Structure 1
Amino acid sequence: MFRRSPLLLACLLVLTGCTGSDAPTAQGKPSSTTPLPAFAFEESSVEDLQTRMRDGRLDSATLTRAYLDRIAAIDDAGPTLGAVIELNPEAMREAQARDAERKAGKLRGPLHGIPVLVKDNIDATPMINSAGSLALAMHRPKADAFLVAKLRAAGAVILGKTNLSEWANFRSTRSTSGWSSRGGQTKNPYVLDRSPCGSSSGSGSAIAANLATVAIGTETDGSILCPSAVNGLVGLKPTVGLVSRSGIIPISASQDTAGPMARSVADAAHLLDAIAGSDPADAATETARIAPYAAALKPGALKGARIGVLRAATGYQPGVDAAFERALQALRDAGADVQDASIAKAGSWGDAEFEVLLHEFKDGLNRYLADSGAPAASLAALIEYNKTHADKVMPWFAQELFVMAEAKGQLSDKAYLDARAKARRLAATEGIEATLADGGFDALVAPTTSPAWPIDPVNGDHFTGAGYGVAAVAGTPSLTVPMGDVAGLPVGIAFLGGAWSEARLIALAYDYERATRHRKPPGFRASLSLK
């Protein structure tokens, strides 16, 4: 759930996009493309598939079997993406049950019979929930997470679980996105030696590669938006409290949320309609303001919309800047009023955010482990397990964040309470909310993040910049849409809004997507050549 930057202690994923000297500026030619078998449902959308099923040209069992075969062909074999960590042994039975319901005239909604992948930090029976860690490799929760129960109630077929950055990138200050001790390294299907980002790495890689129709990711700070952007997807991080967190291995009660990862804005909207809702087990959802999100999919939303441009979130990669300028022109051409904007004291919440995450991780993880009957009963027990099994669990990076979190006190501590208040004030009240109100903006935009960097287990991630941090800390929604590519590597534009503004962001992003059509399927290139 946490898109950890190697510059963590200095700038902790600030809105302005911390910059470094390792921006991937080479504009080399792609190397050879890996030939793959044809796939009948390449780039198929929720609405396309529902039309085929309604017309009797397709059923869920056929669709589910096709995705399972696709996973075997290119995730387990071929390019070996390593995106799917476990298949649901009941997937075909679930698909057949949905087909029987359809035949009987019972339709549950747009997701009826649609195969969905969920991240491996979400309880989904009968599968393991491990956060990618060997310490939980035998942990089988007794019940579904609330959002998984909602997916099933909406008619979705749970196809399997996706790999992730171990412990959602909150174990080490030098971790490698997409690597877990249980699942190994997930690859980016556009260029296989490039990072899929994280921590929702498998969800991003899988949906980009058409291993399912849609997927669920989770985010604390960037873990939906970053892997969506670098895998050419739409990713939507909802307002904290719109989607239940019960049954999800946590990092932060203040910032955690699950959300859609999809190949189109429409698919993301349908998925959000299915998972949004109040859950008695998650107090943050008590005041959720739920809207009909697919109803926002109407052309013309950008006409007359006022869009604020966060230029402080640019400047770390020339190709990204060029793509962003083209995106801004597309917004203007669609009728938007595009004006520069800024966040007061951008990034100044970094130290406070980090203090909050450390405290809340210890508290929330201990609660989850105890309540779910996990093999390891506490964070302290996990630290000891990792030490004992260091050759398998920590071959590349250690557990500095685990140790730092274990040293923290209770959530009643003044240090925690002060940090939480400071982070929310700077990012929300005096940050995104003030900027939106003062400028009369419908939304703010920024480049989502850099192009994918080479996978490097020795040095860790080469993360150079991002534009989503303020929404993560504020707990407000953000949505990334493809805005082109740099040397064949996808990049995205992020739309940021105020609390509960998901429907408005979906409408704006849908209009932008219709005007630009930047989503392209991956080519499974082995590498980028500098020749």
Structure 2
Amino acid sequence: MASFNRLTTTASELQDLLRSGKLTSADALTAYLEQIDDHDSWLRAVIATPPRRLLFERAKMLDDEREQGKVRGPLHGISVLVKDTFNTPSLGVATTGGCYSLAGAIARQDAEVIRRLLNAGAIVLGKTNLSELNGWKGSDLPFGWSAVGGQCQSPYVRDGLVDDGSRLSHSSCGGSSSGSAVGVAAGFAPISIGGETDGSLNMPATRAALYTIKPTVGIVSRAGLIPVSPFCDSPGPMAKSPRDVADLLDVLVDAKMTRIPSGGYRSCLKQTFKDIKIGALDPAIWTFAPGIATPDEGATKQMIADIKAAYTTIQPLTKRFVPFLPLSTTPQVHTEDQDLPDHLTALHALHKPALEAYLRDLEASPVRTLEELIHCNRSIPEELPAAFPQQDYLEHDLTFKLYGISPHQAARDARSRAQKRIDDILYKYDVDVIIGPADSYITNFAAAAGYPLATLPVGVLAFNGRPFGLTAITRAHGEAVLVGVQSAWEVVFERSVPEALRGVEERRARGGRVG
């Protein structure tokens, strides 16, 4: 049985081992489940795994198919983690969104994303922890915390989660797709699926030194997914390499909703920036407000310096590089008319009908309405513990109304304004993408516009080991461009690995065991 390092081995590299016969899908599955058993008690990245008998039956079936010459594609026999917001009745695992009130719900069928993964030959080995209900339960709840899953932890941060009074401290793993990112970084699986409304893929992937792409809103199915709002929601992949991101996009993206490149997204991988035009945002001014993330002087200086150094490195390699674009750092997308709703207002207005449509479609559920969910939460002590009793987002949206404009019109107006701001910059400065610090409000612009974004790992903070990086945004249906940017980036910049777990994996490898 071949040895492999779970912290560094990508899905495509694992596929090479499977193809060569040096490893079986069952071997790899065993290794990943061992890693979960060894480390998830403190990382809290996985809420549930399917019955192991079913997992190994599927692994054997896929190994048998391979022996018979049937390989479904790059995901054949590859283990994958999925956020606990995707319906998975065929796996024998409930979908809770981290909420005890949904623990007894039964979905009619698998989410479309799950169906596509299974048809592609993937092994869904676990459901991942998250900021409860996609971070839409209550204010001031820590990112990565859910009542069902507990507090998800970064495998990079040396002293664990440190409460500094902000929701997004420098030790936080980010959210809401926390477990999907932590699970891949910790070697629980080579790839994962999360979901983003506004930053929920971007932030946890950045803080786990992973590559992710939030696709253009609407080109990956949201069917069977606990929603915030169809206005901004999109499932998306997380991986250690752009190639794996591209392979996942080829499985997830609906060809009826966009134009997939000839040869698929894998054909868009590049080795160079020579055909790419980039505009960059100033890391000295693109930050979060202190109320979101408490500043640390040393961390701030390092991120500014390292990001500027990264800009300097890639500038001569690009077709065009424009530093410090004059895009406003205002987090909400307004016009001068402050009476017009911003995109977050539209999200709140659309949340209740979206969530209730999901609840009504379940085959069985303890709750069918937002009001019932709120009341059920109050009846479960573990759901509203003394440390985290908030569900004010849910309570706010129960009665929230817009006046003088429908929620859908408000969303359309906010989207149009956001798209114009991004498009004007891309056109005026003749660039393909805008890049800026991921620890900033850049995701607000992409979310409001419905445009795709991608992460670019840069480095780790000296004082606690937490990764940081950049976010790239581009026009709608620009996933091919982002795959090219990520793959060119990977050639130049090395991805970091959690030091605390690296030694464990290296010792196992030297001992000849899978690991």
Is TM > 0.5 for Structure 1 vs Structure 2?
yes
Alignment partner of 1:297 is 2:254:
no
Amino acid at match of 2:94: I
Alignment partner of 1:52 is 2:17:
yes
Partners of 2:132 and 2:343 lie apart in 1 by 20
**Conservation of the 8 A alpha-carbon contact between 1:386 and 1:394:** no
Residue in structure 1 matched with residue 48 of structure 2 by the alignment: 86
Q: Which moved more, 1:490-499 or 1:137-146?
A: 137-146
Alignment partner of 1:123 is 2:64:
no
Amino acid at match of 1:341: L
Alignment partner of 1:141 is 2:107:
yes
Residue in structure 2 matched with residue 199 of structure 1 by the alignment: 176
When the two structures are aligned, how many residues end up with a matched partner? 460
Partners of 2:382 and 2:268 lie apart in 1 by 50
Amino acid at match of 1:408: F
**Conservation of the 8 A alpha-carbon contact between 1:330 and 1:516:** no
The structural deviation recorded for 1:415 is 4.7
Deviations 1:156-196 (A, max 9, x none): 01111001011111111211111111111111111122311
**Conservation of the 8 A alpha-carbon contact between 1:83 and 1:162:** yes
Partners of 1:96 and 1:357 lie apart in 2 by 44
The structural deviation recorded for 1:40 is 4.1
Which residue among 191, 203, 211 is the counterpart of 2:188?
Answer: 211
Which residue among 471, 480, 487 is the counterpart of 2:455?
Answer: 480
The structural deviation recorded for 1:419 is 2.5
Amino acid at match of 1:343: L
The structural deviation recorded for 1:231 is 1.2
**Conservation of the 8 A alpha-carbon contact between 1:60 and 1:114:** yes
Alignment partner of 1:166 is 2:132:
yes
Partners of 2:34 and 2:445 lie apart in 1 by 40
Residue in structure 1 matched with residue 35 of structure 2 by the alignment: 70
The structural deviation recorded for 1:226 is 0.1
Amino acid at match of 1:305: I
SS at match of 2:271: coil
Alignment partner of 1:371 is 2:336:
no
User: Using a 3 Å threshold, how does the CA distance of structure 1 residues 304 and 39 change in structure 2: closer, same or farther?
Assistant: closer
Alignment partner of 1:106 is 2:55:
no
Amino acid at match of 2:257: T
Amino acid at match of 1:103: E
**Conservation of the 8 A alpha-carbon contact between 1:369 and 1:378:** yes
Residue in structure 2 matched with residue 31 of structure 1 by the alignment: none
The structural deviation recorded for 1:346 is 4.3
**Conservation of the 8 A alpha-carbon contact between 2:216 and 2:452:** yes
Counterparts of 1:455-470 in structure 2, within 5 Å, are: 465-470=440-445
The structural deviation recorded for 1:413 is 6.8
Residue in structure 1 matched with residue 348 of structure 2 by the alignment: 358
Which residue among 328, 332, 337 is the counterpart of 2:320?
Answer: 337
Partners of 2:488 and 2:360 lie apart in 1 by 46
**Conservation of the 8 A alpha-carbon contact between 2:130 and 2:178:** yes
SS at match of 1:420: helix
Partners of 1:519 and 1:154 lie apart in 2 by 29
Residue in structure 2 matched with residue 440 of structure 1 by the alignment: 430
Amino acid at match of 1:402: L
**Conservation of the 8 A alpha-carbon contact between 1:345 and 1:426:** no
**Conservation of the 8 A alpha-carbon contact between 2:350 and 2:408:** no
Alignment partner of 1:309 is 2:309:
no
Counterparts of 1:380-419 in structure 2, within 5 Å, are: 380-390=371-381, 392-395=383-386, 396-409=388-401, 414-419=405-410
Counterparts of 1:470-509 in structure 2, within 5 Å, are: 470-487=445-462, 488-509=465-486
User: Using a 3 Å threshold, how does the CA distance of structure 1 residues 523 and 466 change in structure 2: closer, same or farther?
Assistant: farther
Partners of 1:522 and 1:139 lie apart in 2 by 39
Amino acid at match of 1:443: V
The normalised TM-score by structure 2 is 0.85
Amino acid at match of 1:68: L
The structural deviation recorded for 1:236 is 1.1
SS at match of 2:342: helix
Alignment partner of 1:239 is 2:201:
no
Partners of 2:281 and 2:414 lie apart in 1 by 19
Partners of 1:333 and 1:211 lie apart in 2 by 38
The structural deviation recorded for 1:337 is 2.1
Alignment partner of 1:521 is 2:465:
no
Deviations 1:218-253 (A, max 9, x none): 000000000001111112111011210000000011
User: Using a 3 Å threshold, how does the CA distance of structure 1 residues 65 and 142 change in structure 2: closer, same or farther?
Assistant: farther
**Conservation of the 8 A alpha-carbon contact between 1:263 and 1:519:** no
Partners of 1:151 and 1:468 lie apart in 2 by 27
Partners of 1:347 and 1:202 lie apart in 2 by 26
**Conservation of the 8 A alpha-carbon contact between 1:199 and 1:227:** yes
Partners of 1:229 and 1:404 lie apart in 2 by 30
The structural deviation recorded for 1:391 is 5.2
Q: CA RMSD in A?
A: 2.0
The structural deviation recorded for 1:524 is 5.7
Partners of 1:356 and 1:227 lie apart in 2 by 24
Amino acid at match of 1:324: I
Partners of 1:54 and 1:304 lie apart in 2 by 33
Q: Which moved more, 1:364-373 or 1:269-278?
A: 269-278
**Structure 1: gaps of 5 or more residues:** 1-37, 279-285, 450-464, 526-531
Amino acid at match of 2:344: F
Alignment partner of 1:325 is 2:308:
yes
Deviations 1:359-392 (A, max 9, x none): 2110100000011132211101011112222554
Partners of 1:232 and 1:397 lie apart in 2 by 32
Alignment partner of 1:427 is 2:418:
yes
Amino acid at match of 1:86: A
Amino acid at match of 1:401: Y
**Conservation of the 8 A alpha-carbon contact between 1:239 and 1:500:** yes
Residue in structure 1 matched with residue 294 of structure 2 by the alignment: none
Partners of 1:522 and 1:342 lie apart in 2 by 38
Partners of 1:330 and 1:167 lie apart in 2 by 40
User: Using a 3 Å threshold, how does the CA distance of structure 1 residues 473 and 88 change in structure 2: closer, same or farther?
Assistant: same
Partners of 1:479 and 1:522 lie apart in 2 by 25
User: Using a 3 Å threshold, how does the CA distance of structure 1 residues 65 and 275 change in structure 2: closer, same or farther?
Assistant: same
The normalised TM-score by structure 1 is 0.83
Partners of 2:12 and 2:457 lie apart in 1 by 20
